[in-house]
Amino acid sequence: MTYPNIVSVATIAGESLGFNLVAADTALITVSTHYIIKVNSILVANVDGTNAATVDVRVVKANYVPLGITDTAVAGTFYIAKTVNVPADDILVLVDTSFYLQEGDVLQGRASVALDLDLFVSYEVIID
């Protein structure tokens, strides 16, 4: 794994994606080599007019040794949200504090009921 220099970058591009979540863990964003993704916000809307649904969002971290931290290797699955309830016809601000996804990381999402939840991610692509 390389560590892109986020101070001196070639490109920073603002992006956003929307997803209709299904009832299975689904890769939403997979970070390519030499890229970093700065996730700015994640919103979840329940588009079912009658029933609540729950949302799971997690990050599958690639195996790497964090820069500047000794004796620590990081790999695994880490939940940002686990079975968080989204009432019918409502919206949930799931993330409003930014975080980084590094190359090889995968952002995954899942709804308790297929197609009842829409997930919207606003992020920046950082290319070194």
Query: pLDDT per residue over 16-30, tens digit each?
Result: 999 999 999 999 999
Q: Assess if residue 110 is contained within a domain.
A: yes
Number of domain units in the chain = 1
Q: Assess if residue 47 is contained within a domain.
A: yes
Q: List the CATH number of the domain containing 18.
A: 2.60.120
Structural domain of 47: 11-127
Q: What is the rounded distance in angstroms from the CA atom of residue 60 to the CA atom of residue 76?
A: 6
Q: Assess if residue 5 is contained within a domain.
A: no
pTM (2 d.p.): 0.91
Q: Assess if residue 41 is contained within a domain.
A: yes
Q: What is the rounded distance in angstroms from the CA atom of residue 98 to the CA atom of residue 64?
A: 21
> Running DSSP on this structure, what letter comes out for residue 31?
P
Q: Assess if residue 4 is contained within a domain.
A: no
- Whether the per-residue pLDDT at 66 is higher than 70: the answer is yes
